[in-house]
């Protein structure tokens, strides 16, 4: 499906309007007029883009301002914004690969934080034996805060079973949790605590719930300072400064949109009577279905959801997304179709 404008709660395809329950604009910021006006005004201040190194002799004050705010919200000592979430992941893993040889990844982890030689965290349902031996070594473990086919945060209980001989660096991808998970949308980074962790690193796209162009890396100050000296960081353009300024100014708007999303999830929870093919959690704005007919069935009923083959999955992903901009009438139509189970 190719469209000529960004979809909000509705989408127009071949001159026909459908309800849209796809994408990743959980808070609806991308189409929110008040937020757009902030961006328009900041483009006048900062230009459409700043194509210069962050380490150039002329530095923009907005980067420090935005990164300090984001660090406080996430609960990290420091952070660095970059031009995309994918770059955030690759910059982090490439830097760690210089000094650490052994990487592990949780099942279905996003490709942005995977390295070519990474080992699976689990083998036949059990923790990888290399994590339980007595060899003293540094290891990196990469994991998504919320996996693409899950609706609850990942459990980090596996850390308790890792040998005390391992010095663990944990990379957590919060692209689908930052802005919407936690009381104030801070994600789960600050809640992860284990005495075996040597370092925690959060990477995330800013382009989903937050509606910004760019990505972020958050960790301790020593690590972030080291990353900012890396050649890839130094030679790359930064995140769009107009968007970062808008983020700083839009905190009240973000809070309002989070409240609207909370009300929508509460309403849907009361309305929806899901069958065994649906996976839903009242604290997360995504419903997953393992039924291969759900996309076409909902399309016939005037609704479009996310349906495509993800690189690391065997079959197409059916993802129903609730946003802050949906109305109760929208949700009634969706819940009725899902609860009827007509071909679903």
Q: What are the residue ranges spanned by the domains of the chain?
A: 10-33+252-340, 50-239
Taking 90 as the threshold, does the pLDDT of residue 322 lie above it?
Answer: yes
pTM of the model: 0.94
Distance from the first to the final alpha carbon of the chain = 22
Q: pLDDT tens digits for 122-156? A: 999 999 999 999 999 999 999 999 987 899 999 99
Determine the Cα angle at 84 with ends 182 and 228, to 5°: 95
Which among 218, 223, 203, 244 has a CA at the least distance from the CA of 76?
Answer: 218
CATH architecture of the domain covering 50-239? 3-Layer(aba) Sandwich (3.40)
Indicate whether 210 pLDDT > 50. Answer: yes
Confidence category of residue 312, pLDDT binned at 50, 70, 90 = low
Average pLDDT over residues 11-17: 93
For domain 10-33+252-340, give the fold: 3.90.1150
221 close to 76: Cβ distance less than 8 angstroms: no
SS3 category, 102: strand
Q: Work out the average pLDDT over 65-90.
A: 97
Residue 161 pLDDT: 96
Instruction: State the DSSP code for 98.
Output: T
Please, which residues have CB within 8 angstroms of residue 105's CB and are 6 or more apart in sequence?
A: 113, 114, 118, 119, 120, 121, 141, 142, 143
Give the pairing of strands 278-280 and 215-219: unpaired
What is the arithmetic mean of pLDDT over 90-99? Answer: 97
Phi, psi of 215 (to 5 degrees): -145, 170
């Amino acid at each position: 499906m190719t469209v000529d404008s960004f979809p909000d709660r509705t989408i127009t395809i071949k001159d026909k309007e459908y309800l849209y329950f796809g994408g990743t604009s959980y808070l609806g910021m991308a189409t929110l007029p008040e937020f757009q006006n902030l961006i328009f005004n900041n483009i006048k201040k900062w230009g459409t883009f700043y194509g210069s190194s962050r380490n150039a002799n002329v530095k923009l004050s907005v980067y420090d301002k935005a990164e300090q705010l984001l660090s406080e919200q996430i609960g990290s000592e420091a952070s660095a914004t970059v031009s995309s979430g994918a770059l955030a992941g690759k910059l982090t893993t490439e830097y760690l690969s210089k000094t650490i040889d052994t990487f592990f990844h949780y099942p279905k982890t996003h490709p942005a934080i995977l390295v070519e030689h990474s080992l699976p965290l689990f083998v036949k349902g059990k923790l990888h034996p290399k994590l339980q031996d007595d060899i003293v070594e540094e290891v990196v473990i990469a994991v998504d805060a919320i996996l693409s086919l899950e609706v609850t945060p990942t459990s980090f209980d596996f850390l308790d079973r890792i040998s005390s001989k391992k010095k663990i660096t944990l990379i957590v991808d919060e692209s689908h949790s930052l802005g919407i998970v936690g009381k104030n949308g801070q994600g789960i980074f600050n809640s992860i605590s284990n005495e075996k962790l040597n370092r925690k690193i959060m990477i995330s796209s800013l382009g989903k719930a937050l509606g910004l162009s760019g990505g972020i890396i958050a960790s301790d100050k020593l690590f972030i300072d080291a990353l900012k000296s890396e050649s890839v960081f130094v030679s790359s353009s930064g995140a769009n400064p107009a968007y970062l300024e808008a983020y700083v100014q839009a905190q009240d708007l973000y809070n309002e949109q989070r409240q609207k999303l909370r009300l929508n999830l509460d309403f849907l929870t009361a309305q929806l009577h899901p069958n065994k093919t649906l996976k839903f959690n009242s604290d997360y704005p995504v419903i997953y279905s393992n039924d291969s007919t759900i996309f076409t069935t909902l399309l016939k009923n005037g609704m479009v959801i996310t349906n495509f083959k993800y690189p690391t999955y065997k079959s197409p992903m059916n993802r129903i997304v609730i946003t802050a901009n949906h109305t109760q009438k929208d949700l009634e139509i969706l819940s009725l179709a899902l609860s009827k189970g007509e071909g679903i």
